[in-house]
Structure 1
């Protein structure tokens, strides 16, 4: 199976072109195997680029643990670059179908290759139940969260994938490695 490894702002994924490649039935298992950083290619996950009946292409995204996700902003920018650079769609305005709906993207092309991609991610989801999160108050903005005896002020948001943002004065290595 042919694949391409790409990254956007540090998120690295393995991309497989389902326009050309036959896909195995168990894509979660493929994602786990390919994503393993010591025994596989090493990635945050697998993104399969499929034909779409409602957009220029469809992205199907799996995390490294095999779970399927709606989308990733950095991942979809790489999909747009792949789709344009490989001739799947040569429009500088294109649409990608995701688990979170159809998103519009603009590619900036220099010397025939995509150099930058802009994506309209839509409105952020801040409601606790829709993210989802265990917080009861909505929106989850500047809420206290205790982690290992330390209280942090956090904001939870989803743009297709849930995120928990912790505001700190200094992002030390110890804090990043210990808390995330």
Structure 2
């Protein structure tokens, strides 16, 4: 079976997007397929797979899978890519809404390939939580911006061991049962941060994480470290902007279509 798809990128997070509004690709909703097509060097390679489905209430619905085959409730960068894909393919207009497991996401297509999305309301904010990771004590903050995030303020994130520390915090007993994404931030200005993220489901550092940027901006504002809107320089070298007011969060950044092609059977049957 040849499968038409688009490769999309949102600030360094890349995704395979497949139109499944007719339901013919339901059989692909499995760990084996997702892991294989997301494998870099062996197949297309991606941080996740997005299936676009029909919705009875809004413009469309998505099914989102991390590269390890796990289902994610929400992904900020993926949301922008899905929105721009839907606009390009005439599935939705410039202003749209779509269903995710985290709730209804609203999006607006901007200029220069950028998309502004209104995320679901953040919840479960907890500041100054003491935990032990990699044998040391840390003061950490957490909030759910569609998926759970932990935020650690650092003096120099370039010298931070994101993989080891991120992995230990991700599986820390304080964040059981489902674990957490882990963000490391450095304040660089009155309304700017640098950020690096260890992503649950990818199980490593990614070039950007949209919901992680939202979580980090919220924590930094609540801690009085920055003022909004907050511009976050991601590990991939691109900037995401977070607007936060009255528990409403908007995330703006790129959603580029890199190419459209066909997945051959050899891409996922090996």
- Higher strand proportion (structure 1 or 2): 2
Task: Render the CA deviation track for 1:115-147: whole Å, top value 9, x for unaligned.
Answer: 211111132122xxxxxxxxxxxx422212211
The answer on whether the counterparts of 2:23 and 2:53 sit within 8 Å (CA) in structure 1 is no
Q: Following the alignment from structure 1 to structure 2, what is the Cα–Cα distance between the partners of residues 32 and 18?
A: 19
In the TM superposition, residue 174 of structure 1 has moved relative to its aligned partner by: 4.7
| SS state at 2:96 partner | strand
Count of residue pairs brought into register by the alignment: 163
Distance 1:173 1:119, change over 3 A: same
Which of these residues, 74, 78, 102, is aligned with residue 75 of structure 1?
78
Task: Render the CA deviation track for 1:130-174: whole Å, top value 9, x for unaligned.
Answer: xxxxxxxxx422212211112222222222222221111110355
2:7 is aligned to: 5
The answer on whether the counterparts of 2:107 and 2:118 sit within 8 Å (CA) in structure 1 is yes
Q: Following the alignment from structure 1 to structure 2, what is the Cα–Cα distance between the partners of residues 20 and 173?
A: 48
The answer on whether the counterparts of 1:61 and 1:71 sit within 8 Å (CA) in structure 2 is yes
Q: CA RMSD in A?
A: 1.9
Which of these residues, 32, 37, 40, is aligned with residue 34 of structure 1?
37
Q: Following the alignment from structure 2 to structure 1, what is the Cα–Cα distance between the partners of residues 57 and 116?
A: 20
Answer 1 or 2: higher relative contact order, Cα 8 Å, separation at least 6. 2
2:203 is aligned to: none
The answer on whether the counterparts of 1:72 and 1:160 sit within 8 Å (CA) in structure 2 is yes
2:123 is aligned to: 125
Q: Following the alignment from structure 1 to structure 2, what is the Cα–Cα distance between the partners of residues 9 and 26?
A: 26
Distance 1:166 1:174, change over 3 A: closer
> TM-score scaled by structure 1?
0.82
The equivalences for 1:84-95 within 5 A come to 84-89=87-92, 91-95=93-97
